[in-house]
C-alpha cells in the first residue's frame, strides 16, 4: 500500500490531524490503529478542556485549541461547552500558590479567578463547602463529547474515502531514502510522510531509527456512575487529594482520583481507588453516596520528563513527525495539535510559535519546558 501521509494511531490526535489535512486538500491519507478507534487514552479520558496551565507552552497551545473546539463541534456534530473548571482549595499554602497561578494566567490572557466558598455554591448549588477556604474558577474551560467527536471524525473521513484500518499494528519504521516504509502485521505501507501518534508505542517504534523518546506510562483510575439530569456544571478538582469529578454530557458522573502508581507498571483495578474516590467526593456531595457506580476502568497517561507532549518533525528526518507523550492532556489539545502537524506537513510553521518548543529534540538538547511552579 502507498500513501502520501500515514498516521500511526487512531486516537483523537491522529484522527483530528487527518480531518485537518483533508480540509487543506490533502486527500491521500491512511490511518492505522492497532486495536479499535479511540482504544488508548482517548476513550478513557475525562474530556475536560482548559487553558489554565502553568507554562507558556501549555497555555498558548490550549488557548488555540479552545478557539478551534467549537469549529470541530460544528463540523463533526458533537457537543462542546464552556462549563468551567473549579479547583477547590482546603489548605492555606494551596491558596497562596494558586494566587501566583492566577496571576500567571492573567499575564497570558486566561480569565481564571479566586472565588469564595459562597461563590462556589452559586456555581455548584449541591456542593457542601465545609472545609473549602477558596477556589479558583476558570470560566473559559469546558468539556466535549469524546465518543461523538472521535467516531464522527471516523465517519467523516470514511465518507471522504480516507481509509481507517483497525487491528493494524505498526511493527517497524524504516527510512528508504525517498520514502518511509512501515511494516505492519497486515503488510507494508509506503508513505511520503509518517505521523507517529501512538502513545508510548511511539517510543518503541522510533527506537529502531535510533531516536529516543522518553515516554513512560502511568496508570490512572476512573469510575462512572449512572446518569442524571445536569447537577454539576464545571469539572471540579479537589487539589489536596488529586481527585476530580465531572458530569459528562450524557449525565453520568465521572470521578478520577490519584492513588500511588509507578511508571510502566500495568494498570490494574485496585479497591483503594474506589475507597478514595468515594471518601473524597461524598464529603463534598453527601447525596453521591446513594448513586450507583456502573463501571471502573483504568488507563495510562503517557508521561514525559517535563509533562509536556512531544510534537513535530524528527531532527534526523523531517518526513517523520511525532505527536505523543501528552501526559494526560491529549484530548483537550487535539485540535491545535492537528493544525500544527498539518502546517508542518504542508511545509510551513505552526501558527502558535510555542509548538517549536515541543519538538522531539528538546530532550537531547536539554531544553525542557519550564513551569512557573510544579503542579502536584
Partner 1 sequence: MNVGIDPRKVIVCRCENVTLADVLNAIESGLDNLEVLKRKLRIGMGQCQGQTCLLLVAGILARKTGKSFDEVLIPRNRPPISPVKVKYFIGDER
Which positions touch partner 1 (CB under 8 A)?
A: 36-39, 43, 147-148, 151, 154-155, 158, 166, 225-226, 250, 269, 271, 274-275, 277-279, 281-282, 288-297
User: Which of residues 287 and 375 has its CB atom nearest to partner 1 in the complex?
Assistant: 287
Q: Which helix (H) or strand (E) element contains residue 243?
A: strand 243-247
Whether the Cβ atoms of residue 73 and residue 80 lie closer than 8 Å to each other: yes
User: Which of residues 268 and 374 has its CB atom nearest to partner 1 in the complex?
Assistant: 268
Q: Give the cell for residue 236.
A: 471540579
To partner 1, the closest distance from the beta carbon of 293 in angstroms equals 5
To partner 1, the closest distance from the beta carbon of 351 in angstroms equals 31
Burial (CB < 10 A; 0-12, 13-18, 19+), residue 121, is: middle
User: Which of residues 40 and 309 has its CB atom nearest to partner 1 in the complex?
Assistant: 40
Biggest CA–CA distance in the chain, Å, is 65
To partner 1, the closest distance from the beta carbon of 135 in angstroms equals 23
β-pair partners for 353? none
User: Which of residues 172 and 250 has its CB atom nearest to partner 1 in the complex?
Assistant: 250
Concatenate the DSSP letters of all residues of 37-93 into one string.
TTTTTGGGS--EE----SSHHHHHHHHHHHHHHHHHHHHHT--EE---EEEEE-SHH
User: Which of residues 10 and 313 has its CB atom nearest to partner 1 in the complex?
Assistant: 10
To partner 1, the closest distance from the beta carbon of 88 in angstroms equals 19
Residue for grid cell 513512560: 216
User: Which of residues 2 and 279 has its CB atom nearest to partner 1 in the complex?
Assistant: 279
Whether the Cβ atoms of residue 32 and residue 184 lie closer than 8 Å to each other: yes
Interatomic CA distance for residues 230 and 205, integer angstroms: 43
Interatomic CA distance for residues 205 and 302, integer angstroms: 15
To partner 1, the closest distance from the beta carbon of 154 in angstroms equals 7
Interatomic CA distance for residues 280 and 73, integer angstroms: 33
To partner 1, the closest distance from the beta carbon of 45 in angstroms equals 13
∠ CA(65), CA(20), CA(301), 5° rounding? 50
User: Which of residues 154 and 337 has its CB atom nearest to partner 1 in the complex?
Assistant: 154
User: Which of residues 22 and 274 has its CB atom nearest to partner 1 in the complex?
Assistant: 274
User: Which of residues 68 and 274 has its CB atom nearest to partner 1 in the complex?
Assistant: 274
To partner 1, the closest distance from the beta carbon of 271 in angstroms equals 8
To partner 1, the closest distance from the beta carbon of 157 in angstroms equals 9
Burial (CB < 10 A; 0-12, 13-18, 19+), residue 36, is: exposed
To partner 1, the closest distance from the beta carbon of 80 in angstroms equals 17
Report which of 182, 245, 211 is spatially closest to residue 324, judged by C-alpha positions. 211
Other CB atoms within 10 A of residue 242 CB:
15
Report which of 12, 2, 43, 18 is spatially closest to residue 195, judged by C-alpha positions. 18
To partner 1, the closest distance from the beta carbon of 312 in angstroms equals 30
Interatomic CA distance for residues 187 and 170, integer angstroms: 9
Whether the Cβ atoms of residue 220 and residue 256 lie closer than 8 Å to each other: yes
Other CB atoms within 10 A of residue 184 CB:
18
User: Which of residues 263 and 287 has its CB atom nearest to partner 1 in the complex?
Assistant: 287
Beta carbons within 8 Å of 260's beta carbon, 6+ residues apart: none
Interatomic CA distance for residues 202 and 213, integer angstroms: 8
Amino acid at each position: 500500500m502507498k500513501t502520501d501521509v500515514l498516521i500511526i494511531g487512531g486516537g483523537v490526535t491522529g484522527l483530528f490531524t487527518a480531518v485537518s489535512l483533508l480540509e487543506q486538500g490533502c486527500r491521500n491519507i491512511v490511518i492505522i490503529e492497532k486495536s479499535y478507534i479511540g482504544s488508548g487514552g482517548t476513550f478513557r479520558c475525562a474530556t475536560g478542556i482548559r487553558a489554565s496551565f502553568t507554562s507558556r507552552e501549555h497555555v498558548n497551545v490550549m488557548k488555540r485549541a479552545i478557539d478551534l473546539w467549537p469549529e470541530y463541534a460544528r463540523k463533526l456534530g458533537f457537543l462542546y461547552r464552556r462549563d468551567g473548571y473549579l479547583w477547590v482549595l482546603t489548605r492555606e499554602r494551596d491558596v497562596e500558590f494558586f494566587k501566583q497561578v492566577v496571576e500567571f494566567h492573567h499575564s497570558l490572557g486566561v480569565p481564571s479567578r479566586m472565588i469564595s466558598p459562597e461563590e462556589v455554591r452559586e456555581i455548584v448549588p449541591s456542593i457542601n463547602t465545609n472545609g473549602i477556604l477558596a477556589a479558583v474558577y476558570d470560566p473559559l474551560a469546558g468539556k466535549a463529547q469524546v465518543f461523538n467527536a472521535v467516531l464522527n471524525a471516523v465517519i467523516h473521513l470514511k465518507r471522504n474515502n480516507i481509509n481507517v484500518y483497525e487491528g493494524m499494528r505498526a511493527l517497524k519504521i524504516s527510512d528508504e531514502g525517498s520514502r518511509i516504509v512501515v511494516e505492519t502485521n497486515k503488510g507494508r505501507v509506503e508513505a511520503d510522510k509518517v505521523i507517529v501518534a501512538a502513545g508510548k508505542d511511539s517510543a518503541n517504534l522510533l527506537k529502531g531509527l535510533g531516536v529516543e523518546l522518553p515516554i513512560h506510562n502511568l496508570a490512572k483510575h476512573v469510575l462512572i456512575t449512572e446518569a442524571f439530569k445536569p447537577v454539576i456544571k464545571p469539572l471540579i478538582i479537589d487539589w489536596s487529594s488529586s481527585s476530580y469529578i465531572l458530569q459528562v454530557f450524557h449525565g453520568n458522573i465521572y470521578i478520577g482520583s490519584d492513588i500511588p502508581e509507578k511508571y510502566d507498571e500495568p494498570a490494574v483495578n485496585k479497591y483503594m481507588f474506589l475507597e478514595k474516590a468515594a471518601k473524597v467526593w461524598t464529603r463534598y456531595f453527601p447525596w453521591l453516596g446513594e448513586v450507583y457506580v456502573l463501571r471502573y476502568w483504568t488507563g495510562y497517561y503517557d508521561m514525559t520528563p517535563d509533562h509536556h507532549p512531544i510534537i513535530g518533525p524528527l531532527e534526523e528526518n523531517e518526513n517523520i513527525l511525532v505527536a505523543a507523550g501528552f501526559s494526560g492532556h491529549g484530548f483537550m489539545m487535539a485540535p491545535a495539535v492537528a493544525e500544527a502537524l498539518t502546517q508542518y506537513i504542508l511545509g510551513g510553521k505552526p501558527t502558535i510559535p510555542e509548538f517549536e518548543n515541543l519538538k522531539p529534540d528538546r530532550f537531547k538538547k536539554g531544553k525542557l519546558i519550564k513551569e512557573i511552579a510544579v503542579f502536584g
